[in-house]
Chain A
């Protein structure tokens, strides 16, 4: 039993007993938010961390799935149909996003995803007959999978935790699979991967699809949690927030996005009680992290621990590096 297994077991036990040791519904709700935002960050990390493809349009995909589910609920479909619809639209639009954005890599990928994400925002904001514009769509009630009600804060937390654990295991399996290894290869040495006979484009495309699936799941959880969706959830700030989770925690690490999600959600809900200027703080954190801690919290803390431990490992976490111009 190595230290990682112990850490995961302790974390799991702590998460499962969380409603018993935190005080009150408010904190259980914060924990639920952290979990579904962590799924979102895990999804972005698949391409941003392991694939070197940084997307600034992921909130658009998140929103598309959430809007689809809410709209279908609103016009009278059942929960299962709406959830399947949301997942389907999320995945389909990820495929379109990827086909366009993968025409470029590096900085071009960022700019194209940003433009695409903003177009989705424009759609959410302006296509009033579907999205109700700035007022957003409210939904009522949560589904009851297998007859279990998840209306209360605790039961919703456990449902989210279950989905989170499944998503985390899926990412773990993906990262250690041949496809995950190939994706990391296309990040570090795209030309060598091509020479070795890998289809670089298809590897990246499949990585994007997996990322899109996690993003859509998280979007649907979001709308069931909030019971509401508006263009604010889709805008550039939202895309930047989730990217901040990934980068602050440590891109290309397994736990980084989770730590980042916890950090951002906690700071946001604590700070918003005291000051209005969340965006200014978000911007300042961004600038600080990029200048002073470019490889994120988890690798940074890991480095400190490794200094004190006797065993030296060779698998240094990769810092997030995007090449400017790839020939």
Chain B
């Protein structure tokens, strides 16, 4: 293939990505340093970042993000791992069960939110009180777990399928029971998959939006950074602050990814495998 042909093949994708992702992302960063008054731009420096540091709503949202992260670690990742280990054998029965556990993962989060809203919302709900201030975060995490545990189960099943049969056989010959085999043989071998799962779970906790927006539309105490920034932009037309929050969210996501990738390469170095 000629050099020119290669570049022609590459240009459409690059152009779409640059115009609709890269330039707007840069723009968000620039906008976060300006305030809008009508159509006039004023350079505001770090005003919006300084405001975020003192904004109790932002503190609460960030706290909720972190809480949600820990709860979904339990309800999505740990549950998914437990399901995968339990349904590891390729039997017809297990196959049916896997389908049951994965199927919520293809639903729209809007559907999930509206259906569970019907069950939990005060006034209409069949189980009222689940979304009040003290319980809302846990309830939403359980709903997320219901929707996503099957997704993590599938990733872990793929990881478990890659464990060589001989290793499990050796563990069996050494007299290891199921519990010991899991902790001392399977889990260490699942480490790579575990990194991926943590990456998806932790970044997902920052990216979350739909469920919070649909289930808890007007409650400040259960806002997260992503719903706070959308509210700032569409309700208060505060683009500068919204952009600053978007930049903070982006940095948090990239930082999380960097930490997990860093931890992974550190571990690879320690066991002497090339990264």
Pair from one complex: no
Binding site for B on A (CB under 8 A): none
